[in-house]
Amino acid sequence: MAREKFLPRDRISDWLGALGRERRLFVPRKEGGSIVLRPFRSGEEGLFGVDLTGSAKTVIFPACQELFSYGQTKDRENPESTLLKLYPSISAEPTAVFGIRPCNAKGFNVFDRVYLGERFPDPYYQSARENTVFVTLACERVDNTCFCNWVGGGPDDTSGSDVLMTPVRGGFVAEAISGKGAVLLDTPLMGMAEGELAEAEAVRAKAKKDLGPAPEMDLIMESIRGLFDDLRFWEHVSDKCISCGACTYLCPTCYCFNISDEAYGLTGRRLRSWDTCMSFQFTLEASGHNPRPTKAHRLRNRIGHKFGYFPALHCASPACCGCGRCIRNCPAGVDIREILLEAIGHAKGLDREVANE
328 binds other proteins (CB under 8 A): yes
Alpha helices in the chain (DSSP H): 12-22, 57-60, 102-115, 123-130, 179-185, 196-211, 220-226, 231-238, 246-250, 295-304, 310-313, 325-328, 336-356
214 binds other proteins (CB under 8 A): no
Cα–chain center distance at 224: 22
Site string (308-327) toward other proteins, x via CB under 8 A: ----------------x--x
149 binds other proteins (CB under 8 A): no
73 binds other proteins (CB under 8 A): no
DSSP β-ladder status, 171-176 and 5-8: antiparallel
Residues 6+ apart with CB under 8 A from 221: 307, 308, 311, 312, 316, 318
Q: Which amino acid is at 124?
A: Y
Scanning 47-55, 129-137, 148-156, 304-312 for contacts with other proteins by CB under 8 A, the matching segment is 47-55
Scanning 96-104, 120-128, 269-277, 307-315 for contacts with other proteins by CB under 8 A, the matching segment is 269-277
DSSP β-ladder status, 95-100 and 24-31: parallel
Query: C-alpha angle 114/243/313, rounded to 5°?
Result: 25
331 binds other proteins (CB under 8 A): yes
75 binds other proteins (CB under 8 A): no
Candidate list 3, 21, 74, 141; residue touching other proteins; CB under 8 A: 141
Determine the size of the site formed for other proteins (CB under 8 A). 48
265 binds other proteins (CB under 8 A): no
332 binds other proteins (CB under 8 A): yes
89 binds other proteins (CB under 8 A): no
126 binds other proteins (CB under 8 A): no
DSSP H helix total and E strand total for the chain: 13, 12
Candidate list 70, 329, 342, 351; residue touching other proteins; CB under 8 A: 329
Candidate list 95, 178, 258, 317; residue touching other proteins; CB under 8 A: 258
DSSP β-ladder status, 191-192 and 5-8: antiparallel
Cα 199 to Cα 192: distance, rounded to the nearest angstrom: 14
DSSP code string of 121-154: --HHHHHHHHTEEEEEE--SS--TT--GGGGT--
In the bound state with other proteins, the residue whose beta carbon lies nearer, of 180 and 337, is 337
92 binds other proteins (CB under 8 A): no
Contact residues: other proteins, CB under 8 A:
31-34, 36, 50-51, 53-54, 62-64, 141, 143-146, 239-240, 242-246, 248-250, 258, 260, 262, 271, 273-274, 276, 279-281, 324, 327-329, 331-335, 337-338
